[in-house]
Amino acid sequence: MNKEDLLKKYFRQSLSEEEEKEFTLLLESDHDFKALYEEYSNLNLAFKSHEAEELKAFLTSIDEQEGVKKIIWYKSSTFYYLVAAVLIIALCLPFLLKPSASSLYNEFYEVYPNVEQPVVRGSEETNTYNAFKAYEASNYSLATKAFEELLQTNSNPNYKFYFAMSLLNDGKFDQALNTLKDLEDLKFSYTDETLWYMSLILIKQEQPLKATSKLELLDKLGSSFKSKERKVLLQKLQDN
């Protein structure tokens, strides 16, 4: 084996036993080989130390990048927005998982149509006619006033029901509920509707137990009004 290969194997730590003997012998007896070995050894260690410094800088840069990534992440507005979003979601979770009172109300609420007084051209423009005309035109504040005036001279519960509907459609929930309360014990054309709308207003006012009792009362009365919707609504109220 030539001297260069022997040196290479020595520094790779891959000399066989025999080669090791040859290496030691040469080192002791051959001055040129010893000089070659010393030159190799000096440069090997010098490069090793130089490379180690560069590697240390490389590893430190990895740590710094990791640190910077963390700092950038913590300092970024995205991070704070995300924290805020998570907190908001956590706080709102119970509400998000359960349908809100408003969403239940909106899901089931429909304007009750005018089935009492047909509004046709050529009809005599009485107070009753004008009240229902305003109601059909979705002018509920005008309808409210018209029904209020009408009720001063006429105690027809049907008109009172539409008065309550006008109030309800005009967003006056408390007044609508109070008006419907006056009607709930009466047997008249809109008894079932009265209980149904009372139930919806009570849901809107976050009184689910009272709302449920109105719906259960409708069941007891054997009402067929909105029977499918009532079943679904009752279930949702119980799930809440």
Partner 1 sequence: MAETIREDDLQQRLRAEDKSALEFVYKTYKSEFINYSRRFELKNDDALDVYQDAIIAMYQNFTMQQLELTSSSIKTYLFGIGKHKIYKLCKSKNKQIEIENNIEDFEDIELNDDSLNYYQKELSKLIANISDSCKELLRLYYYRNLTVQEIVEQTQYKDANTVKSHKSRCMKRIKSLVSTK
Applying CB under 8 A, what is the total number of residues that bind partner 1? 27
Binding mask 15-44 for partner 1 (x = CB under 8 A): -------------------------x-xxx
Q: How large is the C-alpha radius of gyration of the chain?
A: 45
Rank residues 5 and 149 by Cβ distance to partner 1 and give the closer one.
5
Least spacing, CB of residue 20 vs partner 1, in Å: 15
Rank residues 4 and 184 by Cβ distance to partner 1 and give the closer one.
4
Q: Cβ(203)–Cβ(182) under 8 Å?
A: no
Q: Cβ(116)–Cβ(147) under 8 Å?
A: no
Rank residues 22 and 229 by Cβ distance to partner 1 and give the closer one.
22
Neighbours of 169 (CB within 10 A): 20
Least spacing, CB of residue 40 vs partner 1, in Å: 6
User: Which residues, other chains included, contact 101 with Cβ-Cβ below 8 Å and sequence gap of 6+?
Assistant: 203, 204, 205, 206, 208
Rank residues 13 and 29 by Cβ distance to partner 1 and give the closer one.
13
Distance CA 230, CA 50 (A): 83
In three-state secondary structure terms, 240 is coil
Distance CA 31, CA 44 (A): 19
Structure tokens at 216: 């259960």
Binding mask 47-86 for partner 1 (x = CB under 8 A): xxxxxx--xx-xxx-xx--x--------------------
Q: Does 4 bind partner 1 (CB under 8 A)?
A: yes
Structure tokens at 182: 């006056």
Structure tokens at 6: 């022997």
Rank residues 11 and 80 by Cβ distance to partner 1 and give the closer one.
11
> What residues make contact with partner 1 under the rule CB under 8 A?
4-5, 8, 11-14, 40, 42-52, 55-56, 58-60, 62-63, 66
